[in-house]
Amino acid sequence: MVDTYGDIDLTEEQLQICRLARRFAEEEVLPGAVRRDREEDHFDRAIVDRLGELGFLGMMIPEAWDGLGLGLDTYLMVLEEIARADASVAVSMSVHNSLPTQLLLRHGTDEQRDRWLRPMARGELLGAFSLSEAGSGSDAASLQAQARRDGDDWVLSGEKMWVTNGASADLVLLFVRTDTPEDRLGTHGIGAFVVPTHAPGYRAGKKERKLGLRGSETVAVHLEDVRLGPEHLLGEPGKGYRYALGALEGGRLGIAAQAVGIAGAALEHALAYAAEREQFGRPIKDFQGLRFKLARMGLRVEAARALLHRAARVYMKGETRQRMLSSMAKLEASEAAMQVTREAVQVLGGYGYTREYPVERLFRDAKVTEIYEGTSEVHQIIIAKELYSQRGTDQ
């Protein structure tokens, strides 16, 4: 792998962390990537536990809560390194770091942070995030799973879908309705709950058999009168939807980093193969048509990475353009991942279409980056709305 940090001004600490991530990815994550892809019904908790041992599950949590206290930019570089080796491992890391931990950090009480955030930062507890339902994907506000009050307790019932880490996680940050069927309050009737997966009534359904990210666990979750005390409610009972949208803006940057990692790996495999493969008495990299293809692939990777870190800087400063740039970064990176992996398969020809070479897996893994954390179509809507909003002409 080539050094990707030359154009980013890193501190010595950041550089050492990124190099550690690269060594870990190459020496421990990459060797098991093919096996995890093949054995899709098995979730490799051991590799996730290693992420915790290295501190990579608490990167953006302050040291006061047992995290590393690092910035978003460092986290995204580490995540890209992990995704280069195995995007399935990267998505488990991304979900844990950007969604449940950040929601607890922003909206939890000190008691909740002590109970759940500290062990999550240390890698002792793995977190998951559950917003979507069978009939509630892009339209997240239409979810139907219900929480009803019973004295001081809440009782949760319903079904959730597409929960990454949903069977193997230790707790799930889960969104359900807190209004009543007789008095729906729209986006103001949704609450966020910390749900331990060992709670009676919590049941993970079948694991989805997916095109890509086969080493990542994706399940449905069934809630059968899950009784939780009031300490499991995160923040206010009607503000869960707002909490979720705020967390997803940062989560999209994690998916963009994952996509850049996938694309970067595909580019490296294509470059190496083109330098070694000979046809008509010379390496195929010497043919102009192929050079044009490789040049465009390199351009897409660099452009996506640059936009990702531009968006990250804006996000860390809390500027008003953060929503638009987060969507732009996620859209560009995911589309770049699809183009670069598709072209990598083409560069390798028939070999690229077989499982003997990793570009086939990278191609399959890339597709979902255009779907989860907001589809490409949704992000185009967000970007256009934000562009008009900046002009003061959108209602």
Domain presence at residue 5: no
Distance CA 187, CA 136 (A): 13
Q: Of 81, 332, 370, 373, which is the active-site residue? A: 373
* Same domain, residue pair 52 and 178: no
- Token match 């500290």: residue? 118
Clarify whether 373 is annotated catalytic. yes
Number of domains, the chain: 3
* Same domain, residue pair 161 and 267: no
* Same domain, residue pair 103 and 139: no
* Same domain, residue pair 315 and 379: yes
Domain presence at residue 176: yes
Nearest Cα residue to 83 out of 16, 40, 21, 19 = 21
Domain presence at residue 1: no
Domain presence at residue 4: no
Domain presence at residue 6: no
* Same domain, residue pair 94 and 198: no
- Domain extent for 341: 242-391
Task: Give the model's pLDDT for residue 395.
Answer: 53
List the CATH number of the domain containing 177. Answer: 2.40.110.10
* Same domain, residue pair 89 and 167: no
Domain presence at residue 294: yes
From 212, 238, 264, the end of a domain falls on 238
From 121, 144, 171, the end of a domain falls on 121
Least confident of 138-142, 257-261, 285-289, 330-334: 138-142
Query: Average pLDDT for residues 158-170, to the nearest whole number?
Result: 96
> Is the confidence at residue 394, as pLDDT, over 70?
no
* Same domain, residue pair 344 and 373: yes
Phi-psi category of residue 235: left, alpha or beta, with phi > 0 → left and psi -120 to 50 → alpha: left
List the CATH number of the domain containing 75. Answer: 1.10.540.10
Three-state DSSP class for residue 122: coil
* Same domain, residue pair 347 and 213: no
Domain presence at residue 324: yes
* Same domain, residue pair 199 and 173: yes
CA atoms within 13 A on the CB side of 368: 20
Residues in the chain: 395
* Same domain, residue pair 376 and 262: yes
Where do the H-state alpha helices sit in the chain? 12-24, 33-38, 45-53, 72-85, 87-98, 100-107, 110-112, 118-121, 240-276, 288-317, 322-348, 359-367, 376-391
Three-state DSSP class for residue 361: helix
Domain presence at residue 2: no
- Token match 């009050």: residue? 149
* Same domain, residue pair 270 and 164: no
List the CATH number of the domain containing 323. Answer: 1.20.140.10
- Token match 């909740």: residue? 112
Least confident of 136-140, 171-175, 279-283: 136-140
> Is the confidence at residue 131, as pLDDT, over 60?
yes
Query: Average pLDDT for residues 224-233, to the nearest whole number?
Result: 98
End-to-end Cα distance, the chain:
47
Q: Contact 347/362 with Cβ under 8 angstroms?
A: no
From 238, 254, 279, the end of a domain falls on 238
Crossing angle of helices 45-53 and 87-98, rounded to 10°:
50
Task: Give the model's pLDDT for residue 1.
Answer: 40
* Same domain, residue pair 258 and 151: no
**21-58 pLDDT, tens digit each:** 999 999 999 999 999 999 988 899 999 999 999 999 99
